[in-house]
Chain A
């Protein structure tokens, strides 16, 4: 299957994006911010369709909107917790706005499907290079901030006392998440970002309790799911996003059943139960 250009591009794009999502997703799950990835993707849809409307490549609209939203969410920080209704309404509004933008371009129905559900087989070589550049940038930023980010994630009050700015790292991290989300949309689409960003990372945290192993496993599982998904799509002619989401769900289910994360002793989860 690698004799086709579109398959080589698909594998290259999937490799880059799944590694980025696996690495970023690990911290996203650790920080309990998985919903942020979902939210950023929805907002990104408006950006992508808006970009189409004014005649530029959707990926740049996607990047601009997700990064702006990630910055905003990071800056608002704590004030966003317990605001599920407000956030939900804004997300639905973002999707609705995106729909309106698409409405002006009726010929872009295919593009709408690709944005919503992804179409990795349609990625061209130019996009692969963009994905590589954005991917290297976001992983580099993540690497530089990872130690204070980990501190702020594990023990925010202590981190704050030791001089780590919680807001700064929250903003920087959500900007990285925004870039990763924009990348992910190219593979699995706006609606299915959870599959690559959260699924492998959550499964990895069920399978290992070490940070280093968890990060590598998260990226490895994401890579496996993306490659296997594309391969299965090639041989079955079913959508690659279907296969990737199915693998993501399957691996997560497997991890929760066999995992070391403490699920076998539910009575002890949460310190509220008596010791």
Chain B
């Protein structure tokens, strides 16, 4: 069975077709890296899988059923918000606060709910750090807590939206390795979006590259090529391989980093202030 199947699906946001007539199939148990320039539709694609955005044409099947909101089999880690820093709770309560959150009633945890929270925290190795206040955790630790939240309810499909954003290379590797080991241990399907391919190399099974309304899905060698990416970017792209890393270059510039810097530089500018990037 496919975990995700798009058939000729078009996704529109405010009249603009973010994805136009896309067909793709992702098998159960795959680790797929979702890449592409900003605005290419990485978040939109995930929102469609979650059933928060209906396809304007075509169909989207998730775990054998049409995509629909409230699917308990999907875990989701949205992009981190700045509001995070104001939540004055322990990591445990932050994770536990969402248990059974779709049902009315008092948020009082029973024995089994508490065990479920402990299990999720153990899976991401956050049992200890969950005792600390959320505001005192680092970006990498917060990603682990968010991952624990997403694992509540034992999903079969995990959607991770830019979990590496604003992490330094060391923490980026930590998150990728953690997700990879979770995926292997739990046998779940993972969609992992990122700005850059390199942190994901070695962990991913296939790449889903989005650009200009189109999508290319395949192995790194199939997708990260000059012809495919030139089509997705709409300009001439060179792919340079160097010491096991891959750079996507546009006119001599690193296209992925370029996107990073110019398309939404305001949100990431801090990335470049202190910690150099993997590819810097």
Q: Is the CB of B89 within 8 A of A209?
A: yes
Asked if B97 CB lies within 8 Å of chain A CBs, one says yes
Q: A32-B86, A146-B106 are in contact. Are A260 and B98 (CB under 8 A)?
A: no
* Neighbouring A residues of B85 by C-beta, 8 Å: 269-272
Asked if B135 contacts A262 (CB within 8 A), the reply is: yes
A211 touches B133 (CB 8 A): no
CB neighbours of B87 from chain A (8 A): 30, 154
A159 touches B107 (CB 8 A): no
CB of A274 within 8 Å of the partner chain: yes
Do B135 and A205 touch across chains, with their CB atoms under 8 A apart? no
- The interface bits of chain A over 99-133 (1 if a CB of B lies within 8 angstroms of the residue's CB, else 0) are 00000000000000000000000000000000000
Contact with B along A155-172 (1 / 0, CB 8 A): 101111111100000000
Contact of B76 among A30, A158, A205 (CB under 8 A): A158
Bound form: Cα–Cα A164–B104 in Å: 10
Q: Are A260 and B166 in contact (CB under 8 A)?
A: no
Does residue A150 face the partner (Cβ distance < 8 Å to B)? yes
Cβ–Cβ contact B274 & A161, under 8 A: no
Write out the residue numbers on chain B whose beta carbons fall within 8 Å of the beta carbon of A275.
Answer: 138-141, 167-168, 171
Q: Does A148 contact B (CB under 8 A)?
A: yes
A144 CB contacts on chain B under 8 angstroms = 104-105
Q: With A261-B133, A274-B274 given, is the CB distance from A161 to B98 under 8 Å? A: no
> Does B106 contact A272, Cβ atoms closer than 8 Å?
no
Known: A147-B104, A262-B133, A271-B142. A210 touches B90 (CB 8 A): yes
Chain A CB within 10 Å, residue with most, of B82, B107, B274: B107
Contact A151 B97 (CB under 8 A): yes
- The complex places the Cα of A214 from the Cα of B142 at a distance, in Å, of 21
User: Total interface residues on A, using CB and 8 Å?
Assistant: 40
In the complex the two chains form, is A145's CB within 8 Å of B104's CB? yes
- Inter-chain CA distance A81–B87, complex, in Å, is 18
Whether B93 sits at the interface, judged by CB under 8 Å, is yes
Indicate which residue in A145, A161, A274 contacts B168 across the interface (CB closer than 8 Å).
Answer: A274
Q: Say whether A148 contacts B101, CB under 8 Å.
A: yes
> Do A210 and B136 touch across chains, with their CB atoms under 8 A apart?
no
Candidates A147, A209, A260; contact of B103 at CB < 8 Å? A147
Contacts of B83 in A (CB 8 A): 32
- Binary interface encoding of chain A residues 172-213 relative to chain B, with 1 for a CB under 8 A from any of its CBs, else 0: 000000000000000000000000000000000110011110
0/1 interface trace, chain A 20-62, chain B, CB 8 Å (1 if under): 0000000000101000000000000000000000000000000
Q: How far is the CB of A237 from chain B (nearest CB, A)?
A: 38
8 additional contacts (CB under 8 A) given A271-B82, A271-B142: A30-B87, A147-B106, A151-B97, A154-B94, A154-B97, A262-B135, A270-B82, A274-B275
**Residues of A bordering B, CB below 8 Å:** 30, 32, 143-148, 150-152, 154-155, 157-164, 205-206, 209-212, 214, 260-262, 265, 268-275
> 4 closest Cβ contacts across the A-B interface?
A151-B101, A163-B70, A275-B138, A157-B78
B residues whose Cβ falls under 8 Å from a Cβ of A: 50-52, 69-70, 72, 74, 76-80, 82-90, 93-94, 96-98, 100-108, 133-142, 149-150, 166-168, 171, 270, 273-275
